[in-house]
């Protein structure tokens, strides 16, 4: 599973929109370019860069800064935000984008999506943003009548490279939110699914890596705020494997119990992700054998799924 650090740019600044509203943006002191450089140094395999002004207005508003990032880093950049015409698509590929993300345009204009997928095979990603079971467009401002599974299936034969599934309920910390919707997307669709809006802790990385067909995770605020260390997140994303038993019912909370490793790792874990990460470190440092590692890892996952 690939971690996509998410750099959202509004008025030239690195931001996050906690409730999806541009007027409530959290502004980070680090510049978008410096953030991109730091993510690359931490081992990022991809970056996603979003023109937030473009999301709400359509068009290119922070293209100069985004192009500076594309030119500076040595890893592929996926560009999103305000890309709603064939001209916009062409322009971004001419200026070095590795992939582009269509959201509103993909849903409103199926012919455009079909055409650009033909022109740029395996380079067009579609974003499906969901709240309360329905797909939203126009920067989460307009609710459509589409359900995400039916919409996703309609993209299957067009040559779409992947689908970004944004769980807005979980992103907004709705008390009843779970990973069930994300799990269903991965189970029902044979397109690669990239999860968005679902990561606040290392535990979330571990849970998502257990779900079927989740090829990537987009996370921004947790990285900018320091809640998650990118190197540790990448380690967990590469370490865990799919648990088919989670396909139908999604992810349930982990039950608290002592660590099964027998090592001198603190037993009072607050997240399964941190426990798996410490076990991985113990294994790579030679403190546990391969057999002990596999047994301990399975016990952690089994305990989580009880």
What sign has the CA pseudo-torsion 70, 76, 172, 53?
Answer: positive
Q: Which of 20, 123, 127, 34 is nearest to 77 (CA)?
A: 123
- Which of 6, 51, 53, 129 is catalytic? The answer is 129
**How open is the CA angle 100-16-161, to the nearest 5 degrees?**
20
What is the DSSP secondary-structure string of 79-141?
EESS--SHHHHHHHHHTT-SEEEESHHHHH-HHHHHHHHHHSTT-EEEEEEEETTEEEETTTT
What are the phi and psi torsion angles at 261 (to 5°)? -75, -25
* Phi and psi, residue 77, nearest 5°: -120, 130
Catalytic, 184? Answer no
- 164 — phi, psi (to 5°)? -90, 120
Residue 68 designated active-site = no
Q: Which of 8, 51, 167, 239 is catalytic?
A: 8
Q: Which residues are catalytic, by number?
A: 8, 129
């Amino acid at each position: 599973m690939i971690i996509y650090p998410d750099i959202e740019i509004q008025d030239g600044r690195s931001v996050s929109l906690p409730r999806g509203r541009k007027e409530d943006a959290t502004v980070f002191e680090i510049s978008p370019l410096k953030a991109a450089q730091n993510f690359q140094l931490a081992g990022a395999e991809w970056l996603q860069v979003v023109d937030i002004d473009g999301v709400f207005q359509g068009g290119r508003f922070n293209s100069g800064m985004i192009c500076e990032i594309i030119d500076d880093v040595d890893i592929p950049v996926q560009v999103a935000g305000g890309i709603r015409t064939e001209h916009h698509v062409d322009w971004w590929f001419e200026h070095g984008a590795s992939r582009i993300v269509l959201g509103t345009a993909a849903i409103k204009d199926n012919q455009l999506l079909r055409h650009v997928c033909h022109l740029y095979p395996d380079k067009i990603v579609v974003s499906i943003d969901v709240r309360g079971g329905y797909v939203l467009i126009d920067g989460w401002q307009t609710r459509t009548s589409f359900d995400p599974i039916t919409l996703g299936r309609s993209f299957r034969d067009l040559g779409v490279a992947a689908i970004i599934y944004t769980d807005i309920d979980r992103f907004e910390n709705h008390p009843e939110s779970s990973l069930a919707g994300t799990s269903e997307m991965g189970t029902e669709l044979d397109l690669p699914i990239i999860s968005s809006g679902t990561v606040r802790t290392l535990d979330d990385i571990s849970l998502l890596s257990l779900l079927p067909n989740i090829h990537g995770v987009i996370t921004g605020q947790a990285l900018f705020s320091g809640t998650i260390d990118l190197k540790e997140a990448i380690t967990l994303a590469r370490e865990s494997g799919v648990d088919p038993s989670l396909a139908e019912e999604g992810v349930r909370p982990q039950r608290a119990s002592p660590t099964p490793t027998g090592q001198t790792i603190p037993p009072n874990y607050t997240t399964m992700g941190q426990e798996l990460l410490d076990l991985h470190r113990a294994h790579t440092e030679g403190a546990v054998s391969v057999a002990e590692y596999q047994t301990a890892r399975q016990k952690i996952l089994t305990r989580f799924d009880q």
